[in-house]
Structure 1
Amino acid sequence: MENRKLIKIATAGSVDDGKSTLIGRLLYDTGSLTTDKLEAIEKTSRQRGFDYLDFSLATDGLVAEREQGITIDVAHIYFNTDKTNFIVADTPGHVEYTRNMVTGASTSQVAIILIDARKGVIEQTYRHFFISNLLRLSHVVVAINKMDLVGYDEDVFLKIKADFDALVEKSNFKTEQITFIPISALKGENIAKKSAEMPWYLGNTLLDHLEVLEPEDLQEQAFARFPVQYVIRPKTDAFHDFRGFSGKLYGSSLQVGDKVTILPSFTESKIKSIQFFDQELDLAVPGASITITLEDEVDISRGDMIVKSSELPSSEKSITATICQVNHKPLRIGDKYTLQHGVNRVLARVESIQSKIQTDFSGEERAEALKLNDIGKVSFKLSKAIHFDPYQVNRSNGSFILIDEGTHDTVSVGFIEARD
């Protein structure tokens, strides 16, 4: 069977912009809804008095949210076409759940930002595009939805596009990384088939556009990073001398014979073997969960990192990061947290809050604390060095979370800045 490519997508927009309806429509148009699910949608739609199928029901997973007509949690939805597998993170639209977009988009390659054609670019649009820019997503699709409610007017589309283009100019995105598509998720216009209602739009449908994206073009070009999750020492006579190191490979490939350095000891060795389940590999690609053995007897523990000796990361006890506050408890100077970087944990103290960042790209301002959903630049002092890359260079090795030592709640998500 031909291998399908995989595209990871995050959806975002304001309340009632139609994110769940859009995803439900994509599921329907790609034949990804089960018969039982489709019958349930038809039944509930009739009970609500609708003369159409309410595709938002395809993704609403919580009884409470369905009754209130809102989406509270991040839902991951899977669907596919003949060529592509898609994983979609449906993130909440209301301001108090903006933290969920950071969660949903952190592992995504592409963002679909929905805009209600009647409302245009609003505060949440700024915030969601800012987060897409912060997270270094490779591509953004601006889906201008509910075009049926503005008479499929091209001028409405062009006005919103012009307003959004002004944001793009302030971001790190290039114009070719942004695509604008006028749609009606409810009516199915420009989702899987071209809309006869909008002959003035000459571009691809949403699904066609997503299918032409190539994972290779969306993949970051970063150095190989292998955080050790498990040390394997079988207690059997047959494997008495076996010592393997398991984890997930990030960044780029590793192969047998590579000269590697183990951090934090800076001990050097060479890769003796790479195992994937019961297979022996000569080369492992990013994203693979593998077991590595080394040519030398090396003391390695969970949380250590194996890297190519020619591609060492930074090793520092002080870092500066852009922080998104995801907890109701404010972050203040002097606060102490557990900082989890990959599988490694260290103690971290807030040394300074350099600024609070405006999510409309208007600049930064002074702040004594960062509150829920605030984004700011913060400096930390760590109990011991971590081995990191700037987030803009390596997303997986440049990010971390802060954990409250008392409640064990996650309070912040951080993206490490390059040192000046």
Structure 2
Amino acid sequence: MRFLSMAVVLLAPAVPQAVAGTTYYVDSKAGDDAAAGTSATKPWKSLEKVSGHDFKPGDAVSFKRGSSWSGTLTLSAKGTAAKPIVVQAYGTGATPKISGGEPACVSISGNYWRVTDVRASSCAWSGFEVAGDGNQLVGVEADHNIAGVWVTPDGRRNVIRDSRLTDNNKMSVDTEGGDDDSGAFGVLLNGDDNLVTGNTISGSYASSHDYKTDGAAVEIFNGDRNRVTRNFSRNNETFTELGAEKGKTAAGNVFAFNVVTSSRSRGSFLVTRGPRHVVGPVKGTVAVHNSVYLTARDTIGWSCHDGCSPSILRLRNNVIVVGGKMGYEDGSGADEAGNVYLGRSKQFKLGPKSVIADPLYVSKSDLHLRPGSPALGHAVSLKASWYGGAASSAPNAGAYQ
């Protein structure tokens, strides 16, 4: 499945090219922390050696493929937009793996790091913890954590793209009663103005005392103006759930051109809250041009509850097929138009140009539209502000144009 034919272009920050600095090498098997580390023949050995080094803008650190470490890689130095500090892999074999880190396997507290080709697996809390500004995770892997990637409240203007976040299926809180269970996040966003794009997120799903099952591909809590675009979500409990502590906000978050499929017995595309909820209101959420197929009966397309209103949720040009409820609203309801739905029931008022009809997906896993689909040419015209950035016209409802 490809997005290259899309008429809409969502602008991502340009990937800066590292200006040549010093490259350091790390090999968990043949390395020596007493070595210079500046060649593949004299590599360092430990995460501690890397974490304690004072890297400069333009430097790079290369981890040998086939190597593995236990502990935390701490990246605290500061690069610049023109000279990021790069983490990469060299050699042949499996992706370099870090496990068992407390609380994270890779912790980025500095700015303008570009981390590629690293796997964070079975870490104490998160695979990657991002607390800085202007950092990029590109082509990384995270699995069997509470959160594959956690962007902390101090994490701003970071990019997570083209990565595989798989089976992050552990709970942080899982206690009987209290309506407080949480965990199993592909990405958890607590910071502002971050971009999550082009990732494959699957298996964010775990048992829960409070909710039977829980988990989300992308969870946003107290994070503003984040953009979640062009991701593939497969067999997660929920694609996205949003909340905010009282006195804080999770405003202006945009979800665009995501493809969401699941065959799990329950799940949802989007869950958000109004002012009567303990973690509401969540204002200004936009869901535009997403394609969704949740096959089971205990599923829901979207839920806007405890005081829903147009200021809480706006939906445009989505294609949502579920085995259960197509959508739910209370209060004055969401701002909804141009969507194509199919399901057993609904609890919302259809907006302008929204219809209930079979969109004729190619299959349960391939959400391209077949000829004759009512979603073809169905989209209502939207300005660039709907996408959180510059965009041109997209004629079809759903993710594929």
Normalised to the residue count of structure 2, the TM-score between the two structures is 0.27
In terms of fraction of residues, the more helix-rich structure is 1
Bigger relative contact order (CA 8 A; separation at least 6): 1
Normalised to the residue count of structure 1, the TM-score between the two structures is 0.26
